């Protein structure tokens, strides 16, 4: 059995006591699962799913709670506290906030703000910690991708060109402002497509299939631009008077209906009673 701190494991209950159950931790010995987290029907010899971490006194302990990320993964987490040593993030375990040393911060973290970090195990202390220095684990030159391929991305940073994103939790990519037709926020995990694998092996990313983006009508582009300028909302529908549509968009009602129909089919917008919303 390979058991690692900061990872999930399936462990057998050795014995149950009033304050919790002890699990067979192999090389770590018996690991306590506090009584409030023991499943009601659990009994000795049952195998249960747990997460392994160190408590505030550096004792190895188990929990049935599911943190927002485990060691080796990326997450967008909120700062709950700051001390003279670093910041503490909410990662889903109320009794143990996730520590980010000052040396692992690109900027001084602030209480109430959220940041994209990766989780690692401190080799000297066996404590789970986090870092903002994503370049330690994210690669610039991508391998194994093709133009048009569907991928998962994590949005990490806004730039003048658009957004830096992490593709499949492993490679850097870029999502350009002029090719974004929906609301995008730092920390979003989205389905996307490879627009282009560049000669330098860097990735250009789009959120819609390239075939549609290449042929998007001028009228639809105008509606998208107006939506972006108005926080993702326009008080127009296919029931709106032609004069109102023309006053706002300088286009006929026929062109307007055709444009929003195409955007709706591509799942870029929602059409509601009060108007059009960017998805």
Q: Is 55 exposed, middle or buried (0-12, 13-18, 19+ CB in 10 A)?
A: middle
**Whether the predicted model's global pTM rises above the 0.85 cut:** no
Assign 1 a pLDDT band (cuts: 50, 70, 90). Answer: low
Mean pLDDT, the chain, integer: 90
Distance CA 176, CA 75 (A): 22
Q: Is 78 exposed, middle or buried (0-12, 13-18, 19+ CB in 10 A)?
A: middle
- Helix (H) or strand (E) run with residue 242 in it: helix 242-249
Q: In terms of DSSP bridges, do strands 128-131 and 30-34 run parallel, antiparallel, or are they unpaired?
A: unpaired
Residue 213 has pLDDT above 80, yes or no: no
Instruction: Please report, for residues 230, 233, 250, the alpha-carbon distance to residue 259 in angstroms, rounded to integers and kept in the order given.
Output: 18, 15, 13
Assign 211 a pLDDT band (cuts: 50, 70, 90). Answer: low
| The token pair that represents 156 in the structure block | 């990490």
Question: What pLDDT does 221 receive?
Answer: 81
Task: Note the pLDDT tens digit of each residue in 18-43.
Answer: 899 999 999 889 999 999 999 988 89
Strand partners of residue 231:
none
Helical pair 253-265 and 242-249, crossing angle rounded to 10 deg: 70
Task: Note the pLDDT tens digit of each residue in 239-264.
Answer: 899 899 888 888 888 888 888 888 88
Question: What pLDDT does 10 receive?
Answer: 95
Q: Which residues contact residue 133 at a Cβ distance below 8 angstroms, ignoring those fewer than 6 apart?
A: 104, 106
Q: Which residues contact residue 212 at a Cβ distance below 8 angstroms, ignoring those fewer than 6 apart?
A: 266
Question: What pLDDT does 210 receive?
Answer: 66
Quote the percentage of the chain above a pLDDT of 90.
61
- 13: phi then psi, degrees, rounded to nearest 5: -75, 125
Question: What pLDDT does 118 receive?
Answer: 97
Residues in the chain: 279
Number of Cα atoms under 13 Å in the Cβ half of residue 277: 6
Considering only CA atoms, which of 151, 131, 155, 132 is closest in space to residue 142? 151
- Helix (H) or strand (E) run with residue 261 in it: helix 253-265
Higher pLDDT, 81 or 183: 81
| The token pair that represents 82 in the structure block | 């700051």
Residue-range domains of the chain with CATH: 8-63 (2.40.50.140), 74-135 (2.40.50.140), 150-211 (2.40.50.140), 216-278 (1.10.10.10)
Considering only CA atoms, which of 115, 133, 121 is closest in space to residue 77? 115
Instruction: Please report, for residues 151, 195, 196, 206, the alpha-carbon distance to residue 148 in angstroms, rounded to integers and kept in the order given.
Output: 9, 6, 7, 9
Residue 90 has pLDDT above 90, yes or no: yes
| The token pair that represents 261 in the structure block | 């129909």
């Amino acid at each position: 059995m390979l058991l690692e701190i900061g990872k999930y494991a399936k462990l057998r209950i050795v014995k149950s006591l009033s304050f919790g159950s002890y699990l067979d931790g192999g090389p770590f010995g018996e690991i306590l699962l506090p009584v409030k987290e023991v499943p009601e029907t659990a009994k000795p010899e049952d195998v249960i799913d747990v997460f392994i971490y160190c408590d505030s006194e550096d004792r190895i302990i188990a929990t049935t709670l599911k943190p927002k990320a485990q060691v080796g993964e990326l997450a967008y987490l909120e700062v709950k506290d700051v001390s003279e040593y670093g910041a503490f993030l909410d990662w889903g375990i109320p009794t143990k906030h996730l520590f980010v040393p000052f040396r692992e911060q690109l900027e001084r973290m602030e209480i109430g703000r959220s940041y994209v970090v990766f989780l690692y195990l401190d080799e000297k202390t066996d404590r789970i910690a986090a870092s903002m220095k994503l370049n330690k684990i994210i690669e610039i030159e991508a391998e194994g991708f093709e133009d048009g391929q569907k991928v998962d991305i994590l949005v990490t940073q806004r730039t003048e060109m658009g957004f830096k994103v992490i593709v499949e939790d492993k490679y850097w990519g870029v999502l350009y402002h002029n090719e974004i037709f929906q609301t995008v926020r730092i920390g979003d995990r989205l389905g996307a497509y490879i627009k282009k694998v560049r000669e330098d092996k860097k990735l250009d990313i789009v959120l819609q299939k390239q075939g549609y983006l290449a042929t998007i009508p001028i009228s639809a582009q105008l509606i998208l631009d107006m939506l972006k300028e108005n926080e993702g909302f326009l008080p127009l529908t296919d029931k709106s008077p032609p004069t109102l549509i023309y006053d706002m968009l300088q286009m006929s009602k026929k062109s307007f209906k055709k444009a929003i129909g195409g955007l709706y089919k591509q799942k870029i917008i929602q059409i509601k009673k009060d108007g059009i919303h960017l998805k």
